[in-house]
Structure 1
């Protein structure tokens, strides 16, 4: 049985061979401007542009909690925009993180990743601005990806939390 590999480094620069998917959690209101997405946008314009278009056209697509959008940024690199947080502020319903949506998104991501023959790379997604705890997200990553034989690397990077 394999497990998640933890490394220090930048999740936007996976240092393994083969096809790679960089997965992260997005909100359901079209906001892109804080946290890990800034690191993505510094490297590639496509994930933000695709996310904003996906949100703008949401009446005619699957945009919503639990949805996944794969955006190719390089011949061997994709970014997975996973909708796993409701709004952007902690309020009466708690933190924006939605564990069930992250679980659904990871399940959808697993099929896509398996088809691509890719490995998955991510920060401790859902634990920064979304307000989630890794102790709740890690088992979802293990169950949905690792237990299906998908290699997962989680990056701990100084100031760019997930």
Structure 2
């Protein structure tokens, strides 16, 4: 019975509260939402966002090829440029180990990755998934851009 009570409290914690992170200026967010091609022709644009209702109180690190992109919170997105023509690894922290997604990116195009929170045994975990351009643009239009950096854990 104690375990059931603990799980009920943990689940309530995951769906209540609200984590916050440092936000980018509104002008930067608006510019990124224009979804222009990358500024450097040999690069690809990468949008990573979180719009899930679950885990409102949790912040989760996001890494690109082992480098900190930023710490996510509910209803935020990040935009960065990555070298085109190669595979990149998008990682997020989870309950026991990182979850990774490898995406092949072509120069001159934008790519969209959604981070989602999932219920874990002790704390919420996170995963990442590639989404279509149409879904990504629609989702990001409702979000605000977070400042890059400030990951809480070392990689």
Q: Which has the higher strand share?
A: 2
TM-score after normalising by structure 2: 0.25
What TM-score, normalized to structure 1? Answer: 0.25
Which of structures 1 and 2 has the bigger CA Rg? 2
Larger RCO: Structure 1 or Structure 2 (Cα < 8 Å, ≥ 6 residues apart)?
Answer: 1
